[in-house]
Amino acid sequence: MRATQLLGIGDIRTMDVPIPEPGPGEVLIKVEASGICGTDRHLFKGEFPSVPGKTLGHEFSGIVVEGNVAGFPKGTRVTCDPNTWCGTCDQCQRGRVNLCINNVATGIHRDGGFAEYCTFPASKAVVLPADLDPLYGAFCEPLACTLHGMDIGGARAGEKVLIIGGGVIGLLALQIAKLAGAEVMLLTRSAGKQALGLSTGADFAVGGEDALRDIWPDGADLVVECAGVRSTVAQSPKLARTGGRVVILGVLPQGEEVPIEPFDMLFREVQMHFSFLNPFTHGRAAQMVADGTIDVAPLISRTISLEDAAEAIATPPMPGDVRAIVVP
């Protein structure tokens, strides 16, 4: 079969590899769709820790073709929760499984979904409806991560929620905030993504702080940083109102440092939180995608072949891209 593997920093290739054999408790799926995430580009650049020689792709879904695992007969459409916690370390015992020191992430530490076939533990598979558009399953993982961040932020009805960044995480967070009953503003310099934000539920879409202050002079009750950019992470506390909250969902390169002003945050008691992975949220995300609670169709920018995956990961996203989906 063909698979796109990261052989080392800056070295990604699509090559012939054997079809994997499912081990005990594993299923083999024929991959239908796999999303290209910003993390994949960080991995390519060496900005996020990984294991060389692995097939990338942690946002994917497909059809079970082998495994004989109860609950997953052949032909079942599934999405993969890519994170396999050990269950025994101190963090797992405290319920903080996303901080597991022994976590094995599919698409980072073990072969992932940028391939024709992929194996993973059946315990990490979540069933999707047979009639669901195959492309939609690739959104379960990013939605699960977004749900964790929004759970931390705790958006409430009547609050003002600012989403920074018009990528897939920002546009998913926007919809979650609207479901909570909040008034939502999207901050992005892209006019196209501003329009997309308005069409997916935002009350306002602006390109900068001045326009934000014209509408919300005091700032937002909750600021959710989804861009993963040094300047917007630094800006986030300043855009929260006094007594407000900030959640950082965007991923910056490892080693990147950001200036903040503790005096300002102290005297205004602005809370700053960080969100990592998807603890216990993947099943909820799959249900929300399956029943249409979250609309993912507008977030599909383009589909590409597996043969084009390496180049797409090695180069910056195309202007206006929200999510490119690899279809093997």
Chain segment 244-259, per-residue pLDDT in tens: 999 999 999 889 999 9
CATH code of the domain occupying 144-274 = 3.40.50.720
User: Taking a C-beta distance cutoff of 8 angstroms, is the pair 26, 32 a contact?
Assistant: no
Inter-CA distances, 116 with 134, 267, 278, 292, Å = 14, 54, 25, 27
Give the percent of the chain with pLDDT over 70: 100
What is the pLDDT, as a whole number, of residue 68? Answer: 78
Q: Give pLDDT tens digits for 140-172.
A: 999 999 999 999 999 999 999 999 999 999 999
Q: Which CATH class is domain 2-131+296-327?
A: alpha beta
Q: Which of 65-69, 203-207, 241-245 has the lowest mean pLDDT?
A: 65-69
**In the predicted structure, residue 197 carries a pLDDT above the cut 90:** yes
User: What residue segments make up the domains of the chain, in order of their start?
Assistant: 2-131+296-327, 144-274
Alpha carbon distance 160, 244 (integer Å) = 10
What is the pLDDT, as a whole number, of residue 284? Answer: 98
Q: What average pLDDT does this structure show over 65-93?
A: 95
Q: Give pLDDT tens digits for 7-44.
A: 999 999 999 999 999 999 999 999 999 999 999 999 99
**In the predicted structure, residue 49 carries a pLDDT above the cut 90:** no
Q: What average pLDDT does this structure show over 68-82?
A: 94
Q: What average pLDDT does this structure show over 102-114?
A: 97
| Residue 268 CB contacts under 8 Å (≥ 6 apart), including other chains | 240, 242, 243, 244
Q: What average pLDDT does this structure show over 108-134?
A: 97
User: Taking a C-beta distance cutoff of 8 angstroms, is the pair 109, 54 a contact?
Assistant: yes
User: Taking a C-beta distance cutoff of 8 angstroms, is the pair 112, 306 a contact?
Assistant: no
- Confidence class of residue 224 from pLDDT cuts 50, 70 and 90? very high
What is the pLDDT, as a whole number, of residue 26? Answer: 96
**In the predicted structure, residue 67 carries a pLDDT above the cut 90:** no
Identify the residue whose tokens are 């892209």. 190
**Mean model confidence pLDDT for the chain:** 97
Q: What average pLDDT does this structure show over 64-76?
A: 92
User: Taking a C-beta distance cutoff of 8 angstroms, is the pair 28, 297 a contact?
Assistant: no
- Confidence class of residue 184 from pLDDT cuts 50, 70 and 90? very high
